[in-house]
């Protein structure tokens, strides 16, 4: 399977991978590889996927309008549409949109929660209050999503202002990749945070997609 590049998923998203399924997944570009892996591993040929640019997360107010446009564009073609975003900083607006348009979505406040498992994430919320999270995608795109947008490449002295209240970086690993783990550890060092790795796999994402028929 030819996977899209991380840079493309960040800035452009993913065009429809197929047009023959009964269910369309409208997802975040940061989840594209995981969704494609799950589709291939489980032979979910009834699921088609289109992804919006992952960089929308740096401007969460743009996520809901972008999802609305995607639903309106494709809804006449598919029997069912499922939104593979959590709330993702939209303040409930995305959930309200999906409800109004009769579309279901992944449960949870953000991907860090459903990758870990929403129940487990909620149970750990007090002890993880000062944690900064990265996923496989965000480890690979750390510079594009964190270091450069915050200006830390030009003004490293800003690190304390942005991350002074964090105590640890939690790397939620979807895959058991030593190279990614080493990169994540380096990200923690660059931010001056303790490092913790959790092999979450796909968490609740797999169960959410498996339920779609």
Cα(199)–Cα(207) distance, integer angstroms = 17
pLDDT of residue 19: 82
> What is the location of CATH 3.40.50 in the chain?
6-112+203-210
- Contact of 3 with 34, CB cutoff 8 Å: no
Q: What is the tens place of the pLDDT at every residue in 49-80?
A: 999 999 999 999 999 999 999 999 999 999 99
Question: What CATH class does 6-112+203-210 carry?
Answer: alpha beta
All residue ranges of the chain with pLDDT < 50 are none
pTM, rounded to two decimals: 0.93
């Amino acid at each position: 399977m030819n996977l899209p590049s991380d840079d493309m998923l960040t800035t452009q998203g993913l065009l429809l991978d197929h047009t023959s399924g009964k269910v369309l997944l409208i997802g975040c570009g940061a989840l594209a590889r995981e969704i494609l892996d799950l589709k291939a591993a489980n032979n979910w040929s009834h699921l088609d996927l289109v992804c919006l640019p992952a960089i929308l997360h740096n401007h969460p107010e743009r996520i809901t309008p972008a999802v609305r446009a995607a639903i309106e564009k494709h809804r006449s073609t598919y029997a069912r549409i499922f939104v593979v975003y959590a709330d993702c900083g939209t303040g409930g607006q995305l959930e309200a949109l999906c409800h109004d348009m009769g579309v279901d979505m992944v449960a949870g406040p953000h991907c860090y929660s459903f990758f870990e498992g929403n129940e487990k994430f909620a149970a750990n919320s007090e002890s993880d209050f000062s944690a900064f999270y990265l996923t496989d995608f965000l480890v690979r795109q750390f510079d594009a999503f964190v270091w450069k947008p915050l200006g830390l490449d030009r003004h490293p002295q800003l690190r304390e202002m942005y991350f002074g209240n964090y105590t640890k970086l939690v790397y939620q690993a979807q895959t058991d990749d030593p190279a990614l783990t080493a990169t994540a550890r380096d990200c923690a060092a660059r931010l001056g945070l303790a490092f913790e790795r959790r092999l979450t796999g796909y968490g609740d994402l797999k169960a959410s997609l498996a339920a779609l028929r």
